[in-house]
Amino acid sequence: MTNLADWSSFTQAVSMIELCIAGYCLYILVKPFLQSAKVALAAGGTFFLTMLGLYVVPLSSDMFMAYAFGSLMAFLVMCGLERGNYIQKAFLVITYFSLRWFTAAMAELLYDKLYYLAANTMWYKGNPPMRLQFVVYFGVCVFYLTMVFAITAGAIYCIVKSYVYKYERMSMRELLMLVIPPFLGAVGYKIIHYYRFFYIQKNKPAETYDMLLLIYCGGAVTVVVILIMLYQNIKASQEEKLANQLLSTQMDNLKLHIEQVENLYQDIRSMKHDMTNHVLTLERLYEGNETKEAKEYVQELKSAFIETVGEVNSGNPVTDVILRGWQAEAEKKNIHFQCDFHYPTDSNINAFDVSVILNNALQNAVENIGGSGELLISILSYRRDNAYMIEISNSFTGNLRRDTESGLLITSKEKKDSHGYGLNNIRKIAGKYFGDIDFIAQNGEFILSIMMMIE
């Protein structure tokens, strides 16, 4: 026979299961955003254990503060086990904190309504056996737990699916934009819930506040999901704009490559056309024992050949053409050009991607060089374990201004819509190979470092 102890034990079991659902839902929310599923599992487990501890030994009667403390512990565990992108981790726990209130409140309101309808039936008012009453209570609790999981998991599914750029670093501005609306929504929920509880204590009908709170929580969940979707659409639009700019730059670089190769080809054809005459001239000089004149002629021929083909030999014809072109451009402006660049032939790095880096970096170097002494541009490359490094430096005496959001330089050119994309394009290519860029200005020179990982 069912007794009150069974009811109490079952109620506690329902609370435990609800905490398990809460921990699991946090796990499925943060898992796609973390590198390791174990960290997500640790975050969800920490949230569950923290809330379980506060349930067994309550330190505060305010559940709002209890869930805030559980979310804080989950955040600290994520940050401790997987460093980096802390702002995004804060966004995840704050978003879940607000969702937890809204979805649980909706499930509770539906549970109250269902239990009220069941308790006011003629059959229930006829005082059925305690065991049958327990069956009704059991069924309503199962309905409540099912709704808690369904509503929370549904909202999380929409967020995870719409959030495309899960591994991108989030700025503080983006965090505030995304968390202020749900936070204010949680505060509004507390206000409505207070008045609802006040009417219940006064034994007054609270149906109006029940319906208002249900609509409010449903609207709040919808707003959170739509806000994140709009944010991701904006990010996608920005990425598309940057991709189009990169494509435009690559097309311009390709045209420049073709022109440089055509010029080199014409020079080689001219030398090939004259080679027969050069050979005949050398034969006549040696036949006449004019060795000195022959050596001088060979030296002149060698100089002409070097001027045509170039001294740069990077190991790849595409990068050779680019480096020779910018070397010639630098020499026109009386800039000394030092090159110790070697293309990583035994790697997964594409020559065209390297060409985008070289063109953008060397263009910036040539256009922004300055100083009172000898003007110098230097480029070198080297490998450090599985990292391929490119360093490009130029004489520089100005001041650097970094953008606080992107960390890149703020261009000083007047046409900002057509300039200033160089470093953005370079970072885009470096990111393709799980690398990044950095730059410093010291001792009268600007140094740009590009890192790309080699498989």
Joined together, the tokens standing for residue 24 give: 């699991």
Burial 431-450 (b: 16+ CB within 10 A, else e): eebebebebeeeeebbbbeb
Contact between residue 9 and residue 27 where contact means Cβ atoms under 8 Å apart: no
| Sign of torsion over alpha carbons 273, 275, 279, 282 | positive
How many Å is the maximal CA-CA distance in the chain? 133
296 found inside a domain: no
83 found inside a domain: yes
From the number of C-beta atoms within 10 Å of its C-beta (0-12, 13-18, 19+), residue 345 rates as exposed
31 found inside a domain: yes
**What pLDDT score was predicted for residue 415?**
39
Tens digits of per-residue pLDDT, 279-306? 666 666 666 666 666 666 666 666 665 5
DSSP labels, 76-127: HHHHHHS-S-HHHHHHHHHHHHHHHHHHHHHHHHHHHHHHHHHHTSHHHHT-
- State the DSSP code for 409: B
CA distance 442 to 408: 17
Contacts of 50 (CB under 8 A, 6+ apart): 69, 70, 73, 74
162 forms beta bridges with: none
127 found inside a domain: yes
- State the DSSP code for 411: P
Q: Give me the domain span that covers residue 101.
A: 4-245
> Mind listing the pLDDT tens digit of every residue in the chain (455 residues)?
455 556 677 778 888 898 899 999 999 999 988 888 899 999 999 999 998 888 887 665 567 788 888 899 999 999 999 888 889 899 999 889 888 878 877 887 787 777 777 777 776 666 766 667 777 778 888 888 888 888 888 889 988 888 877 877 787 888 888 888 877 777 777 777 676 666 555 555 556 667 777 788 788 888 888 888 888 887 777 767 766 776 676 667 666 666 666 666 566 666 666 665 666 666 666 666 666 666 666 666 666 655 555 556 777 877 888 888 888 888 888 999 998 999 888 888 888 888 889 988 998 888 888 877 789 999 999 998 889 999 999 988 777 666 554 566 655 444 343 334 578 778 888 988 989 998 888 888 889 999 999 87
Backbone φ and ψ of 121, nearest 5° = -75, 155
205 found inside a domain: yes
111 found inside a domain: yes
Terminal-residue alpha carbon distance, the chain: 68
118 found inside a domain: yes
Number of domains in the chain: 1
Contact between residue 154 and residue 103 where contact means Cβ atoms under 8 Å apart: no
Tens digits of per-residue pLDDT, 409-444? 655 444 343 334 578 778 888 988 989 998 888 888
44 found inside a domain: yes
